[in-house]
Structure 1
Amino acid sequence: MHADPRDARSVIEQDAMTWRQMLIVLLCVLLNGLDGFDVLSISFASPGIAAEWGVDRAALGIILSIELVGMALGSIALGWAADRVGRVPIMIGSLLVMAAGMSAAALSTGVVMLACIRLVTGIGIGGMLACNNAVVAEVSSLKYRAGAVALMAAGYPFGAIVGGSIASSLLVEGTWRDIFWLGAGMTIAFLPAIILLVPESPEIILRRNSPDRALAKINRTMKRLGHAALDTVVPIARDETGDSSGLFRGAMRRITTLLVIAYFFHMLMFYFVLKWIPKIVVDLGYEPASAGSVLVWANIGGVTGSLLFSYLTTRLPLRGLLIGVFAFSFLALVWFGMNATGLGELKTAAALVGFFANAGVVGLYALVAASYPAHLRAGGTGLVIGLGRGGAAAGPAVAGFLFVGGFGLPLVALMMGVGSLVAAGAIFVLRSPPKAPVRP
C-alpha cells in the first residue's frame, strides 16, 4: 500500500470503514453487553442472596447500589486516565478488575464482603464503559459514527438479555454463586480479543508524542485498522486540549448542571427497575428463574427502544423527543407498579418500562455529546455520566428503604418514576440544544 498524505483522523473519518474497523465496533458492542450482564448479575443473584443470608430489603438495596458508586468513580477517574495513558491499557486493566471481582463475589461469605467486592467491580465496569464510547467513536467513519455508537449502546441491554437467559437457566439447578462464575468466565474470555484487535487511538498517540515519534506509532494503528500508511501527522490544535475547567465557566456552567440533574434523576428511576425487578417478582410468589425472565423482557424492550430512538433522532427534534420519552417512562413505571398481578402482565409492563427508560438513556448520551464544543466534549461526557450515576447508586437504596418503611409497590413505583419527570423538566429548561445529535 502507498503512503497516504492525509491526517490519520481525516482518513478514519472520511474513508469507507474497513472490515477491521467493523470488527472492532462489534467487539465493543459485545464488551458493552458484558458490562450489561456484569452490572445486572447482582440483580439476578439477589433473591438467592437474600434467602441464604437472611438479608432484609434495606440491606439488599445497599448491595444492589454499591457497585454503581464504583461505576461513577471508574467513569470519571479511569475515563480521565484513558485520555492520558491510552484506551487499551485502561480497557485491559478494567477487564481484569471485573473478572477478579466476579470471581471474588462467587466466593463471598457475607454482606459486607460482597458489598466491598461489588464496589471494586463497579470501578472496572465504569472504566470499560468510558473507554468503549471513545473507541467506537475513534474507529468509525463520520458517516456511520452515530449509528455505531447507538449500536454499542444497544449492546448493554442485549448483554443483559443473553446473560439473563443463561442465568435463569443456571438458577433452575444451581445457586446464585454460579451467576458470578459465569460472569467471570465471560469477562476473562474477552482479554485476548482486546489485546489482538484494539489499536491505540491516533488522538492519544498525538497527545503523548512529538510528530516525529508519533508517525510510526500511528502507522501501526492505521495498519491494524486496514488503512494505508501516512506520510505525516498533524499536531493537536490548541482548542482541542480539553480544558475541563471550562465545563463550569459562563454558559457551560448552566448546561453542565442541567445535564447532570437530568442524568441523575433518570438513572434514579432506571436502576430501580433494573435492580429490583427480580426481587419484586420473587416476593410476589414466583420462582427466581421466572424473576430473571421478567428482567430479560425489560431488556428486550430496552434494545428495541434504544434502536428506535436512534432512528427517530434523524427525523424529530432531539430535545422534544427526549422530553416525551421521559414522560412516557414515568407512565410506564406507574403502570408496572399497578399491574403486578400475573407473570404475563409483569413481562409486558417490564418490557414497556425498559423500552422508554433505555430510549431516555440513549437520548441523554446524544444530548450530552451535542451540548459541548469539541474541546470539552470528552470531559463533559465523563463528568455528566460520572456524577449522574449517583442517581443509579441511589435508586435501588432509596427503593429499599421505601419498601422497609411499609410502602407498597404501586406507591414506590410512582415515587421512583418522578425521577424521569424531573429529568424532563431539566431538559425543558435547557435552552437552544441542537435538534439532532452531532457526531461524537
Structure 2
Amino acid sequence: MVANDPRQIINDNPMSARQWIVVVLMIFLNALDGFDVLSSAFAAPGITKEWGIPRSQLGIVLSAELIGMGFGSILLGSLADKIGRKLDMIICLVVMAIGMYMAHAATGVTELTLWRLITGLGIGGMLAATNAVTAEVSSTASRSLAMSLYVIGYPLGGVIGGFAAQGWLLVEYDWRAVFLFGAVVTAVMIPLVMLLVPETPAFFAARRPEGAVAKINKSLRAFGKPQISDLPPVPEQAAKPRVTDILSNPRLRPTTLLLAFGYMFHTLTFYYILKFAVQIVADTGFSQPLAASVLTYANIGGAVGGALFGFLLKKWDIKVPTIVMCILGVLAVAWFGLGHDTLGHWRLAGFFTMFFLNAAIVGYYAAFARGFPAYARATGTGFVLGVGRAGAAGSPIIAGFLFDALGKDQLLAVSLIMCAGALIGAVLVWLVPLHDADEVVAGRA
C-alpha cells in the first residue's frame, strides 16, 4: 500500500462524480456495441426477403461482425495497452461509424458482409478498452457494481435499439435504416469520449511514459483525487512486466486459457438466440417488427439478469453463481427450442434465455477484471474476447447450416445442440484458478 501509487489512490478513495460519469459513458459505449452487433439480427428478415438468401448464407452475414470482433479484440484491444485506452476508443468509434454507414448503403450480400466485418473490428477493440477503463476508474468498494452495470449496457443497447427498430425504423423505413441509425449514434459518441474521459492513471503507472507523473496528476485532478509527487520504484529484481505474460507467465496462463475457452463455448449458445431469434419467430408467421420485439424482450431479460447478478456477486464469489446461471441458461434455451404459438410466449422465452445467459456473462467479465494485472488488462481481456468471438462468430454459421441440414421445423434439435456450449463453459469456469492478478504477478498469491 503505497501513498504515491495512483492505482491505490483510485482503489482506496470513494468514487467521485467524474468517475461515475466515466463509468456511465462506458455503459453507453457498451450499449452502442450491443446495438451495433444486433443491428444485423434486427435487419435479418428484411435482408432475407430482399435478396432471397437461405439460412446458411444468412448465418455468414450474421457472423461477419462477430468474426471482426475476434480480430478487433486482439489487435485493437492490445493497442489500448500501448497507446492508451482513450485514443484506442476514439479509433474504434471511427471504424464503427464508417462500417455502419457503409453497411446501410450495401447493394449485395458480399458488400454487406465486408462492412459488417470492418464494423466488428471496431466493436471488438472497443469492448476490450471499455472493460479496462471501467475496472481502472472504479474504487475497490464500487468495482463489482461498476462492472455489473457496465456489462448490462450490452443488452441495454439491444433493448433501446429494439424499440427503435420495431416501433420506428422497420415501420417507417426498411432494414437499411437500422444501420444508418447506428452510424449516427456512434458518431455522436466520439466528441463525448474526447471531452469527458481522461486517460486512466493505471495506464500511465503501468507504461511509465515520459512525463508520467504529470499525466497521472492531470487524470487524478479530473477525478478529484490527491496527487502524487513521484511513482513507486519498480523492484530491481523484478523483470519488466510484458503484456505477453498472459500466456508466458505460468501463473497467468491457466486463467487466460480457461477463461478464453469457457467464454468461447458460452458465446456459442449466447449468440444463437441473439442472432437467430428474430428470423426464427418471423418464420412462424409474425411480421418483421413483431418478430424483432422478441429480441427486444430477450435483451430486457439480459439487462435485468445482469443487474441482479451484479448485486449477487457483491455477496458471493464469482464461480458458483456463474455456473448456476450457465446451467439455467441451458434449460431456458431448450424451452425456447420447444417453439411457441403466441407472441407473448415467444417474448417470455426470449426474456429468460438472456436473463440467465447474460448473468453468466457478468460473471465472466468480473473474472476478466480480477484475472489480469493492470499492465496487461486490456490485452488479456482482448485476448479472451478474441478467442471467445470464435464461438460467437461460429454460432450463427453452425445454427444456419444445422437448420438447412435438419430443416426449419427442427427447432428443438438445433436448440439442444446449440445450448451445449453454455454447459461446457460452466465446466471450464469451475476450473479457473481465480486470484487477484496484481498479487499473482507480485508473487504474493
For the structure 1 residues 431 and 41, does the alpha-carbon distance in structure 2 shift closer, same or farther, using more than 3 Å as the test?
A: closer
Q: Which amino acid aligns with 1:230?
A: I
Contact 1:328–1:356 (CA under 8 A) maintained in structure 2: yes
Aligned partner of 2:98 in structure 1 is 100
Offset, 1:253: 4.2
After TM superposition, the structure 1 = structure 2 runs for residues 64-75 of structure 1, keeping only pairs within 5 Å, are 64-75=62-73
Q: Are residues 1:158 and 2:160 paired?
A: no
1:230 deviation in Å? 3.2
What residue in structure 1 maps to residue 142 of structure 2?
144
Displacement, 1:370? 3.8
**1: CA distance, partners of 2:170 / 2:246:** 50
Task: For residue 142 of structure 1, give the secondary structure of its aligned residue in structure 2.
Answer: coil
Aligned residue identity for 2:203: I
Kept in 1, the 8 Å contact 2:207–2:375? The answer is: no
Structure 1 match to 2:339: 339
CA distance in 1 between counterparts of 2:365 and 2:239 reads 23
Structure 1 residues 323 and 227, CA, compared in 2 at 3 Å: closer, same or farther?
closer
The letter of the residue matching 1:339 is G
- The one-letter code matched in structure 1 to 2:225 is H
Separation (CA, whole Å) in 2 of partners of 1:402 and 1:142:
45
Query: Counterparts of 1:394-433 in structure 2 under 5 Å?
Result: 394-407=394-407, 408-428=410-430, 430=431, 433=434
Distance 1:125 1:372, change over 3 A: closer
Contact 2:128 2:381 (C-alpha < 8 Å) held by counterparts? no
Q: Residues of 2 paired with 1:423 and 1:230: CA distance?
A: 43
Query: Retained in 2: the 8 A contact 1:91–1:128?
Result: yes
Conserved? CA contact 1:103–1:180, under 8 Å: yes
Report deviation, 1:369: 3.8
2:51 paired residue number: 53
Q: Distance in 1 between matches of 2:260 and 2:85?
A: 25
CA displacement at 1:410 relative to structure 2: 1.1
Change (3 A) 1:12 1:250: closer
Measure the CA separation in 1 of the matches of 2:309 and 2:206.
Answer: 35
* Paired position in structure 2 for 1:225: 223
Contact conserved, 1:306 with 1:358, CA < 8 A, in 2? yes
User: What residue is the counterpart of 2:271 in the other structure?
Assistant: 271
Query: Cα–Cα, structure 1 residues 431 and 203, in superposed 2: closer, same or farther, change >3 Å?
Result: closer
1:160-179, aligned counterparts within 5 Å? 160-169=158-167, 170-179=169-178
Residue 190 of structure 1: SS of its match in structure 2?
Answer: helix
Q: Distance in 2 between matches of 1:88 and 1:434?
A: 28
Report which stretch shifted further, 112-121 or 8-17. Answer: 8-17
Unaligned runs of 5+ in 2: 440-445
- Structure 2: how far apart are the matches of 1:416 and 1:323? 17
Note if contact 1:107-1:177 (Cα within 8 Å) is conserved in structure 2: yes
Contact 1:261/1:388 (<8 A) preserved? yes
**Counterpart residue type for residue 353 of structure 2:** V
* Identity rate, percent: 44
Q: 1: CA distance between counterparts of 2:366 and 2:67?
A: 23
Which amino acid in 2 is paired with 1:265?
Answer: F
**Superposed, which structure 2 residues align to 1:207-222 within 5 Å?**
207-209=206-208, 213-222=211-220
Which aligned pairs between 1:265-414 and structure 2 lie closer than 5 A? Answer: 265-372=265-372, 377-407=377-407, 408-414=410-416
Contact 1:239 1:375 in 2 (8 A): no
Which amino acid letter does the alignment assign opposite residue 283 of structure 1?
D
Query: Shift of residue 388 of structure 1?
Result: 1.4
RMSD (Å) for aligned C-alpha atoms: 2.2
Letter in 2 for 1:121: T
- Identify which range, 370-379 or 404-413, moves more after superposition: 370-379
- Tell me if structure 1 keeps the 8 A contact 2:128–2:379: no
Residues 305-338 of structure 1: CA distance to partner in whole angstroms, max 9, x if unpaired? 1112222223334322222211111110010111
Aligned partners of 1:74 and 1:123 also within 8 Å: yes
* Equivalent residue, structure 1, for 2:262: 262
**Bigger mean CA offset, 124-133 vs 237-246:** 237-246
Q: Distance in 1 between matches of 2:375 and 2:219?
A: 23
User: For the Cα contact (< 8 Å) 2:159–2:296, is it kept in 1?
Assistant: yes
Determine the C-alpha separation between the residues in 2 that align with 1:431 and 1:113.
Answer: 41
Q: Name 1:111's counterpart in structure 2.
A: 109
Q: Please state how far the C-alpha of 1:162 moved relative to its aligned partner.
A: 0.8
Asked if 1:63 corresponds to 2:61, the answer is: yes
Counterpart residue number, 2:34: 36
CA distance in 1, matches of 2:90, 2:433: 39
| Equivalent-residue separation in structure 1 for 2:356 and 2:257 (angstroms) | 23
Aligned residues: 431
Report SS of the residue matched to 2:285.
coil
Q: 1:236 to 1:157 in 2, by over 3 A?
A: farther
- What is the alpha-carbon distance in structure 1 between the residues aligned to residue 395 and residue 298 of structure 2? 17
Task: After TM superposition, give the deviation of residue 240 of structure 1 in Å.
Answer: 7.3
**8 Å contact from structure 1 (residues 98, 184) kept in 2:** yes
- The answer on whether the counterparts of 1:259 and 1:426 sit within 8 Å (CA) in structure 2 is yes
Normalised to the residue count of structure 1, the TM-score between the two structures is 0.92
How big is each residue's C-alpha offset from its partner over 1:97-137, in whole Å with a ceiling of 9 and x where there is no partner? 11111100010000000111000100001111111011111
Point out the more displaced range, 338-347 or 244-253: 244-253
Per the alignment, residue 199 of structure 1 pairs with: 198
Once the 2 structures are TM-superposed, how far is the Cα of residue 421 of structure 1 from its aligned partner? 1.2
In 2, the alpha carbon distance for the partners of 1:426 and 1:138 equals: 26
**Closer, same or farther: CA 195–434 of 1 in aligned 2, 3 Å:** closer
CA gap 1:18/1:64 in 2 versus in 1, 3 angstroms: same
Question: Aligned partner of 2:305: which letter?
Answer: G
Deviation at 1:260, TM superposition (A): 2.4
The letter of the residue matching 1:14 is D
Structure 2: how far apart are the matches of 1:342 and 1:413? 19
Q: Deviations over 1:226-263 (max 9, x none)?
A: 33443333355646724524525546544433322211
Q: Distance in 1 between matches of 2:212 and 2:154?
A: 34
When structure 1 is superposed on structure 2, of 382-391 and 249-258 the one drifting more is 249-258
Gap change, CA 1:52 and 1:202, over 3 Å in 2: same
Which residue type is aligned with residue 264 of structure 2?
A: F
Q: 1:223 Cα deviation (Å)?
A: 2.4
Q: Take 2:78 and 2:149, find their aligned partners in 1: how far apart are those partners? A: 24
